[in-house]
Every structure is written in structure tokens, then in C-alpha cells.
Amino acid sequence: MKLHRNLVFAAVDALQEIFNDGKYADKVLQGTLKRDKRWGARDRSFIAETVYDIVRWKRLYVEIAEVKEPFDRQKAFRLFTVWATLRGITVPDWKQLEETPTRRIKGKFDALSKIRKFRESIPDWLDALGEKELGKKWDDEIAALNQQADVILRVNTLKTTIDKLQATLFDLDLETEKIKGYPDALKLKERANVFQTEAFSNGWFEVQDASSQLVAEFLEVQPGMRVVDACAGAGGKALHLASIMENKGQLIALDIYANKLNELKRRAKRAGAFNIETRLIDTTKVIKKLHEKADRVLIDAPCSGLGVLRRNPDAKWKLQPEFIENIKKTQAEILDNYSKMVKPGGKMIYATCSILPSENEKQIKDFLKRDTGKDFTFAKEKKVLPSTSGFDGFYMALLEKK
């Protein structure tokens, strides 16, 4: 593989923004990839994959390169050199990459790979927390969370069928495969920018991980029901619910962020999902008005996001132990408040994209013991672990109101 100076420099600039300025990797890359109109798909994919790789393995590479934050350009180039050497790429004799100690890099890599926190490139506190909560399973889960995520599409059945979408994409040289047990999912055989296809602009599909696609089905919705998506965000699951409901009934999408609900409206329009009504939670009245009015409530709770590290590797460096402690309090409050919207005989899902029992099973057990949960019974739960599913880590519990 021949390295091109302008692509390497672009990757190094992006890394400095992500590590030194605390910016989100996906946002930085959006800007970086627009820098040169002459770059083709292969050039852009080299920059994106290089940056994500170095972000993912930051702790390991920092240790091998013997550098400390903040990273000036020289240090960032050293991280790049470690990345290239470990991939067997011949490092050119540019002055930024002078004197690469190839054998020393490989020797240090072998030694550090015996220690989990370096091998899996995670902060000490996160390694300790994972082991405390998951025991021996933590080894397999964190290893799986360091793999690159597949691109999974969810077919929008309001507009097309899985076979029709698969054939349309095949004509564009985009090969996909169906996934057993996921009726609306197609997996791309090779990564590609699917957002530029006509099928996407016509609302035939959304990009949504296979695990995330299980949540809407788990809620057991029927056309004609009144359903509340209480933490709707930009609406990935709301759009899926609308398609299962065949646009019949009422789907109320709530969130505390207006910008997310605006994005949901835009996506719903493209998807042809016209039974969705968005409501901003700007006062407690919004929830009170819906007390005991919903057949189904989905609480896709804010969480640590540990189950989706494969697609957000920079979260490892942004997460803090205090955040996880605080988010658990928020989860309990949301369960207490939003569960009141379920009508007698109705059902509710509590879901997170975390693999920590303290954010999942424990929250449900505690809720059922509190006064607010006394009218609910536990129906079933599903734990999706990255090591066994190959997809994101998720948890979902279905509760029924007496």
C-alpha cells in the first residue's frame, strides 16, 4: 500500500481535533472528508478508517509510541507511524515519519497485548467496571466491541419490500445479505456510502443496527394503537414502529431536545410515516396529559452507550465514571415518571444500548420494588451481547400493567 501525503496529513489533522479539542469523531470526519473535491471513495475511506482505527486503539498506540496528551503534530505522526507499522505498511521517508523503530514497535505491541486494558485499549476505570459487572464475560464483550461495526439497513416496509430493495441495490453494485431472525434487515457485504442512493432519498431504508431493530418488534404493537416513544431522539425506533403499525393509529414521539425532534420530522417525511406526532417535553404537563392514555410505551433510556462502542470508539475516551453513576439516577427517574403513561392492560419496554447489568436488569428489579412499579409485572427480557450476536449490545425488558 502506497501512502499519499495529503491523505495522511488530513488524517493527522483530524486526530488532533478529536484528541486535543474533544470533538466527536464523526463530526470531525464529516468536515475533513469535504476538504478536497478530488478525493475519490477510496481516498475518503482510507482517511475515515485510519482515523477510526487510531481513535479505537488510542491507549495501546500511545503506550507504544511513548507520547502524552495533548498531541502536537509530531506526536500525532508518531501515532500514525505505529498504526502503519502494525498494519505492515512501509513507512515512507518523509521528515514527519523519520526513523521508525519498526522492530521496537512490534516488540512493544506483543508485550502490551498480554495486558487487557492495553490490548483492548480502554481506561483503567472502565476495565475495572466491566470486570466487576460482567466477570469473565467482560473479556469477550470488550474484544467484540473493538471490532468494526457492519453497515446494516432496515427496510422501510411502508414503501418497499426487502427483496425489492435488495435487487435495487444489487443493480448499483451494492451487494447485501439477509440476516436470519431479523426480518427487515440487510447487511452490506462491503462498506459503502448508501446515503447517496436514490433508494435512500426515496425513503426505502434507514441505516440501523440489527440489535436496535429488535426493540420495536419486542413492544408487540398493532396497527391502530396509541403508542408513545418517550425518548424518541432522532427517531430510528419511532420510524420502525410506524412501519409495523402500517401508519395506522397514533405514534407520539417525545423528547427533551427540539433539534432531535426536527430531525425526526424530516426523516418521517422521507419515510412516508405520517402517523407520527412529535411533542417536546418542555414542562411536566406534557407527560401528565398522557397519564394512562397509551397502549404501549417505549422508554429507550439514555445510558452509557457501552453497547455501541464499535460505532462510537471515541466514547471510550469521553465517558467518565461520574456520568455512568448520574445516568443511572436519570434512568430510575424516567422509569418512575414515564411509566405513568401506560394505561391498565397496556405494555411498556425499557431498553438501553448498554451491556452493564446495573443499567439494565437491576433498574427493572428496583423499579418493580418501588411504589411506581407496583402495578407492573415483568413479562420478558432480551439481552443482546456483541460477542454472541456480532451486532451492538442491547437490553430490553417488557413489562405489563395490571
CA dist 185 to 61, 156, 396, Å? 35, 10, 19
In contact, 296 and 220? CB cutoff 8 Å:
yes
pLDDT tens, residue order, the chain (402 aa): 899 999 999 999 999 999 999 999 999 999 999 999 999 999 999 999 999 999 999 999 999 999 999 999 999 999 999 999 999 999 888 988 877 788 899 999 999 999 999 999 999 999 999 999 999 999 999 999 999 999 999 999 999 999 999 999 999 999 999 999 999 999 999 999 899 999 999 999 999 999 999 999 999 999 999 999 999 999 999 999 999 999 999 999 999 999 999 999 999 999 999 999 999 999 999 999 999 999 999 999 999 999 999 999 999 999 999 999 999 999 999 999 999 999 999 999 999 999 999 999 999 999 999 999 999 999 999 999 999 999 999 999 999 999
CA-angle at 51, arms to 176 and 260, nearest 5°: 70
Q: Which pLDDT belongs to residue 98?
A: 75
Question: 152-207, superfamily in CATH?
Answer: Sun protein; domain 3 (3.30.70.1170)
Which ranges constitute the DSSP H helices of 289-360?
315-318, 321-338
Q: Which pLDDT belongs to residue 101?
A: 85
In contact, 182 and 151? CB cutoff 8 Å:
no
Domain 213-401: CATH architecture, name and number where available: 3-Layer(aba) Sandwich (3.40)
Integer Cα distance of 318 and 122 in angstroms = 11
Q: Which pLDDT belongs to residue 99?
A: 72
Kindly report the CATH class assigned to 5-121.
Answer: mainly alpha
Integer Cα distance of 9 and 76 in angstroms = 10
**From 82, 294, 353, 399, active-site residue:** 353
Location of C-alpha cell 433508494: 199
Integer Cα distance of 300 and 169 in angstroms = 31
Q: Which pLDDT belongs to residue 100?
A: 73
**Residue 69: exposure state from Cβ atoms within 10 A (0-12, 13-18, ≥19):** exposed
- Angle subtended by helix axes 73-86 and 58-65, to nearest 10: 100
Which SS3 state, helix, strand or coil, does residue 277 take? Answer: strand
Q: Quick one: cell of 185?
A: 434487515
| CA-wise closest residue to 49 among 90, 96, 8 | 8
Q: Which pLDDT belongs to residue 1?
A: 86
Starting at the edge strand that comes first in sequence, how are the strands of the sheet with 226-229 ordered? 276-280, 250-255, 226-229, 294-300, 342-352, 394-401, 376-384
Q: Which pLDDT belongs to residue 273?
A: 98
Domain boundaries, the chain: 5-121, 152-207, 213-401
Amino acid letter for position 385: L
Which ranges constitute the DSSP H helices of 87-206?
102-112, 116-119, 124-134, 137-145, 162-171, 198-201
Active site residue 353: yes
Location of C-alpha cell 523519520: 98
| CA-wise closest residue to 356 among 130, 75, 163, 140 | 130
In contact, 153 and 176? CB cutoff 8 Å:
yes
Q: Which pLDDT belongs to residue 270?
A: 98
Q: Which pLDDT belongs to residue 199?
A: 98
